């Protein structure tokens, strides 16, 4: 039987990469985004798309109902939709915190709760997209960092509570992943380049499909005894303590 995965934030960036990889591995993909489906997946067999605002509780309910109506069930949920970037602590307002929480945390909780009945039927899996910034505290992202630590906590909580039902809950923690905005920031912000590229042992930006492969693995039977794990996919950035020594000469 062909398996079905719901991927939120599937129209661009990491979410699009995740959707492409699941399709490559033969899954049916139910994509969810505020934006229309990307042309690169919209015409592919096995892909369905719904436009929705996941900040709205009713929107989450409608998304889950639409997925059940189209595919009859759910084998995996990938909570990818989120808001990145942020400002320093003293520049961050209460409204900033509420905005980031409403996008990065609340929909994760809602969709997990709504998906659990379907996932229990198929002993499915949840993969939450956390962040390397949710493993290592990082300056200058005051509203973003706490929400990704929250995603890690949600992942571990659900893994312990629903493991008895055969549901595995894990997270992927991306490092710096390519996007047009990322490319521009690396080229024009020397501090960012030094921290994120020179400070990464592999010394490069990751690709969205590399996050997709990690998600597909964690959702697959190959990861059948993996539960409650937060998997960094960041080129070693989150464990690096020192910048590499400059070459001699």
Residue 248's pLDDT is: 64
In tens, the pLDDT along 148-205 reads 999 999 999 999 999 999 999 999 999 999 987 788 888 898 988 998 999 999 999 9
- Token pair of 40, please? 């690169």
Q: Indicate the SS3 state at residue 194.
A: helix
- Span 46-58, mean pLDDT? 95
Place of tokens 């798309």: 49
Band (16; pLDDT cuts 50, 70, 90) = very high
Backbone angles phi, psi at 98, to 5 degrees: -65, -40
Residue 228's pLDDT is: 98
- Token pair of 185, please? 């920031």
Per CATH, domain 4-178+207-233 is 3.40.50.720: yes
Closest by CA to 158, choosing from 131, 132, 128, is 128
Residue 222's pLDDT is: 98
| 19 pLDDT more than 90 | yes
Residue 209's pLDDT is: 98
| 124 pLDDT more than 60 | yes
- CA–CA separation, 53 vs 150, rounded Å? 21
Residue 106's pLDDT is: 98
> Mean pLDDT, the chain, as a whole number?
94
Residue 6's pLDDT is: 98
Asked if 31 and 9 count as a contact pair (C-beta separation under 8 A), the reply is no
Asked if 104 and 151 count as a contact pair (C-beta separation under 8 A), the reply is yes
Residue 247's pLDDT is: 66
Residue 141's pLDDT is: 92
CA R_g for the chain:
18
The more confident residue out of 56 and 97 is 97
- Span 53-81, mean pLDDT? 96
In tens, the pLDDT along 79-102 reads 999 999 889 999 999 999 999 999
Place of tokens 């894990």: 170
| Helices (H), ranges, the chain | 13-24, 39-42, 57-71, 94-104, 106-122, 144-162, 180-188, 190-193, 208-219
Percentage of the chain beyond pLDDT 70 is 98
- CA–CA separation, 225 vs 212, rounded Å? 20
- The pTM assigned to this predicted structure is 0.95
Q: Which residues are catalytic?
A: 144
- Span 115-144, mean pLDDT? 94
| 108 pLDDT more than 60 | yes
In tens, the pLDDT along 220-246 reads 999 999 999 999 999 999 998 777 776
Domain locations along the chain: 4-178+207-233
- Of 13-17, 134-138, 167-171, give the lowest mean pLDDT range: 134-138
């Amino acid at each position: 039987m062909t398996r079905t995965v719901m991927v939120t934030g599937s129209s661009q960036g990491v979410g699009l990469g995740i959707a492409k990889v699941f399709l490559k591995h033969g899954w049916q993909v139910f994509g969810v985004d505020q934006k229309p489906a990307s042309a690169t997946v919209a015409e592919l067999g096995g892909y369905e798309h719904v436009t929705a605002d996941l900040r709205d509780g009713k929107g989450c309910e409608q998304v889950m109902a639409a997925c059940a109506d189209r595919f009859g069930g759910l084998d995996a949920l990938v909570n990818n939709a989120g808001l990145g970037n942020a400002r320093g602590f003293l520049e961050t307002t209460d409204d900033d915190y509420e905005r980031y929480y409403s996008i990065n945390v609340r929909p994760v909780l809602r969709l997990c709760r709504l998906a659990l009945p379907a996932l229990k039927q198929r002993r499915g899996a949840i993969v939450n997209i956390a962040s390397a910034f949710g493993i290592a505290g990082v300056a200058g992202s005051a509203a973003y960092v706490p929400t990704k630590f929250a995603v890690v906590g949600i992942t571990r909580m659900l893994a312990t509570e629903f493991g008895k039902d055969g549901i595995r809950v894990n997270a992927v923690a991306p490092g710096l992943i390519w996007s047009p905005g990322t490319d521009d920031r690396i080229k024009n912000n020397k501090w960012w380049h030094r921290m994120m590229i020179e400070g990464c042992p592999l010394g490069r930006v990751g690709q969205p499909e590399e996050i997709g492969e990690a998600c597909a693995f964690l959702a697959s039977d190959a990861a059948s005894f993996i539960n409650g794990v937060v998997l960094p996919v960041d080129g070693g950035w989150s464990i690096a303590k020192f910048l590499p020594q400059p070459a001699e000469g």
